A and B are shown apart, each in its own frame.
Chain A
Amino acid sequence: MTIGFRDFSWTPAHARRPTLARIDLRIAAGERVLVVGPSGSGKSTLLHAVAGALGTTILGEATGSVDAVGRLGMVTQNPSSSVVADRIGRDVAFGPENLGLPRKEIWRRVDAALEAVDLRYGHDHLTSALSGGERHRLALAGALALEPELLLLDEPTSMLDAGLGDDVRRAVLDVVGDRTLVVVEHRFERWLDVVDRVVALDGGRIVFDGSVGEFRVASVPEALWMPGRPAPDPTVIPAELVTPVEPARIVARGMAVDQVTRTLRGTVRTRAVADLTVTLDPATITALVGPSGAGKSSALLALAGLLDPVAGSVEPPPDVGWSPQDPEIGFVATSVRREIEATPQALGREVDTEALLEAVGLAGRGDEHPYRLSGGEQRRLALAAAVAHRPGLLAMDEPTVGQDRDTWALVAGWMVSAARAGTTVVAATHDPDVPRHRELRLSHGRAVR
């Protein structure tokens, strides 16, 4: 046995309900296990328990026991948090250094890991200049370089398009070989062919544990992205919540954007977007697509007037609804209700807070602290807070990453309903199911037709 949970429960500090309840689970050496479940069901907590982070780094109360045997490598959900060095070579080397390997072997493993995740920059490339998807791959390379006996992955391919996701999955399996793998993923269809066993969680409890064959025909929570289930119908949002106060047309001409890393030792500029000319009209949805590192987020920021172009021009909208990749970045208040009311208050606009809470599925949760919500709930709150003032432009950065079907339907529904009501909607996304009227494909920062 490699992993053993015995009647394990975990209640985080300040939480009322346990996030894991009475878990009994044994995973044998060499097993490949997929863990699935709706947002907030306890998947990440399960991995944290195996990694020994509960009760040490993360505060709370545990009962029962959990054991893990063997050298462990883990990739956590937020890739920015796993970066420990300023350059990608040294970042990947961190694990092998901890293992006390000789220098030659360290660099052999660094090169092999970077190649496996297809990060083809030099060792000295700055980690701060990587895109969200590239950071995901860097974190994965950092774990692969350990050549772990037990590999734990929290949504390793959620930020990647299908092709790159397949490559990364193959790389993971190559490294894992006959060792143990536990992987958490929302869009898990492609993992089903390569794992031995599936564990489904709901509300902190195991609701399914069995083979892939059994899982395919099991009755599992509606929110799971089961293979064959089409993308859910976008939720319809009442027009009075999404009709823009002032419609916006965005015109960019020959726009260039740089990613800048400034230190006292000097400034490093990386061209993220070059020579982009585009018009975004009201009542349309534009999807910015392209491989990870293509400049989607930078282009989105510049179009929203939140990042100044270094060349060309863009006419920013009078007001914008901005939904960042990391929802926590935008939180400003100590309660869900005040979070939603902050922007309308600042701009002197009316907002029907209760209707918004209801629309994003947070009715009755107005007094909770934004940080204590689950990942999916935070995404929905961030959306409500970003659009409460009914802006003319709605700009979203990977709005559906790591979301279950319920949250997905809400995010997609907001885009469709807002566009129908006259909002200009633009989203950087690699999710092919996200609704759109047209696509703007970027490659190496340039628009390709």
Chain B
Amino acid sequence: MTGVATQVNPLALLAVGLAGTLGSLGVDTLPEALALATCWLVVVALASPSWRHPAFCLALVALPVVSVAWSTWMLGGRDPQTTALAAVRIFVLAWPGAVAVGYVDVARLGDYLAQTLRVPARFAAALSAALQRVGGTWRAWHDIARARRARGLRRGPGAMAFAVLVHTMREASRTSIAMDARGFAAARRRTWAEPASWTRVDVGAVLLAAVLAVTPHVM
């Protein structure tokens, strides 16, 4: 639990996430799968700031893991070995990626997409702004829930989700006007206030990702 994951740049984090998926495709035996899963558990444990987000991601991937295990059990001759291999493989495919994506600093994602990967600047800026509004959605949920609580109204998940959706859409059109009013509509050649730098931590993360992605294929 060092929290180093939050210092890694967005592209390096995405590389780490992708490494889980690539690595899982090279896993052929249960010992290999367990070894790889253990490696990822250690990496996540060392790099995450807390267990909350990794545990939440575990709950998310539990559904595909269980359903793949179930169908493998039913269709694969009820062999515990094959079932366990399938389950662990799906876990490695999905969980590290989910954890890594959660730590991406979406505010800096645009910088790296545009400056490192040379993605068109307007697209990168729009994507970054849109993703940052996801945080605004959390805030809107709170504000709307508070207003409903004050009014003594039920805050069922369906009604709340609909209210937040409507609010978000109305906000998005206002934000779009505000962005265009700050030169976004006419931006031809865009520059970036902050450089997309690569620190030793970033390079280390990418190397680690490469090792975890390639090793299962060469073993």
* A261 proximity list for chain B (CB < 8 A): 135
- What are 8 A-B residue pairs whose CB atoms fall within 8 Å in the complex? A71-B186, A81-B178, A90-B193, A306-B150, A322-B146, A328-B167, A330-B148, A343-B152
- The list of the 10 closest CB pairs from A to B, nearest first, reads A74-B181, A81-B174, A322-B150, A98-B183, A82-B178, A93-B193, A98-B187, A330-B147, A95-B182, A100-B189
Closest to A333 in B: B153
Whole-angstrom distance between the Cβ of A333 and the nearest chain B Cβ: 10
Chain B interfacial residues counted at CB < 8 A: 56
Partner of B171, one of A81, A98, A107, A304: A81
Stretch in B32-40, B68-76, B102-110 with 4+ CB within 8 Å of A: B102-110
Q: In this assembly, does B78 line the interface, its C-beta being within 8 Å of a C-beta of chain A?
A: no
Q: How many Å lie between the Cα of A110 and that of B194 in the bound state?
A: 13
| Residue with the greatest number of chain B CB neighbours at <10 A, chosen from A107, A146, A152, A330 | A330
Q: In this assembly, does B185 line the interface, its C-beta being within 8 Å of a C-beta of chain A?
A: yes
Partner of A73, one of B143, B171, B181: B181
Q: How many Å lie between the Cα of A332 and that of B188 in the bound state?
A: 42
Which B residues from 98 to 131 make CB contacts under 8 A with A?
Answer: 102-103, 105-107, 125, 129
0/1 string, B31-61, CB within 8 A of A gives 1: 0000000000000000001000100000000
* A389 proximity list for chain B (CB < 8 A): 152
Q: In this assembly, does A143 line the interface, its C-beta being within 8 Å of a C-beta of chain B?
A: yes
Q: In this assembly, does A258 line the interface, its C-beta being within 8 Å of a C-beta of chain B?
A: no
0/1 string, A96-128, CB within 8 A of B gives 1: 111111110011001000000000000000001
* A346 proximity list for chain B (CB < 8 A): 151-154
Q: In this assembly, does B144 line the interface, its C-beta being within 8 Å of a C-beta of chain A?
A: yes
Q: In this assembly, does A378 line the interface, its C-beta being within 8 Å of a C-beta of chain B?
A: no
Answer whether A102 and B178 are a contact pair too, CB < 8 Å, given A322-B150, A329-B144, A332-B153. Answer: no
* B178 proximity list for chain A (CB < 8 A): 74, 76, 81-82, 84, 139
Closest to A139 in B: B178
Q: Does the CB pair A57–B177 fall under 8 Å?
A: yes
Q: How many Å lie between the Cα of A326 and that of B147 in the bound state?
A: 10
Q: In this assembly, does B82 line the interface, its C-beta being within 8 Å of a C-beta of chain A?
A: no
Partner of B177, one of A76, A87, A262, A321: A76
Stretch in A23-31, A220-228, A263-271, A428-436 with 4+ CB within 8 Å of B: A263-271
Answer whether A90 and B182 are a contact pair too, CB < 8 Å, given A76-B177, A324-B143, A328-B167. Answer: no
Answer whether A90 and B107 are a contact pair too, CB < 8 Å, given A128-B139, A262-B138, A265-B49. Answer: yes
Partner of B175, one of A81, A87, A128: A81
Q: Does the CB pair A84–B186 fall under 8 Å?
A: no
Q: Does the CB pair B192–A100 fall under 8 Å?
A: no
Which of A's residues lie within 8 Å of B, judged by CB? Answer: 48, 51-53, 57-58, 71-76, 78, 80-87, 89-90, 93-103, 106-107, 110, 128, 139, 142-143, 146, 152, 261-266, 301, 304, 306-307, 319-322, 324, 326, 328-330, 332, 342-343, 346-347, 371, 385-386, 389
Which of B's residues lie within 8 Å of A, judged by CB? Answer: 3, 6, 49, 53, 102-103, 105-107, 125, 129, 132, 135-136, 138-140, 143-144, 146-154, 159, 163, 167, 170-171, 173-195
Closest to A50 in B: B181
Partner of A146, one of B139, B183, B189: B183
**Given A86-B132, A332-B148, A346-B152, 7 other A-B contacts at CB below 8 A?**
A78-B174, A81-B175, A85-B129, A322-B146, A322-B150, A329-B144, A346-B151
Q: Does the CB pair A57–B180 fall under 8 Å?
A: yes
Q: Does the CB pair A142–B193 fall under 8 Å?
A: no
Q: How many cross-chain pairs have Cβ atoms below 8 Å apart between A and B?
A: 173
Closest to B148 in A: A332
Partner of B153, one of A75, A80, A128, A343: A343
* A74 proximity list for chain B (CB < 8 A): 177-178, 181-182
* A75 proximity list for chain B (CB < 8 A): 181
Whole-angstrom distance between the Cβ of A52 and the nearest chain B Cβ: 7
Q: Does the CB pair A264–B153 fall under 8 Å?
A: no
Q: How many Å lie between the Cα of A386 and that of B53 in the bound state?
A: 37
Whole-angstrom distance between the Cβ of B59 and the nearest chain A Cβ: 14
Whole-angstrom distance between the Cβ of B32 and the nearest chain A Cβ: 30
Q: Does the CB pair A90–B53 fall under 8 Å?
A: no
Q: How many Å lie between the Cα of A367 and that of B176 in the bound state?
A: 30
Q: Does the CB pair B135–A329 fall under 8 Å?
A: no
* A96 proximity list for chain B (CB < 8 A): 191, 193
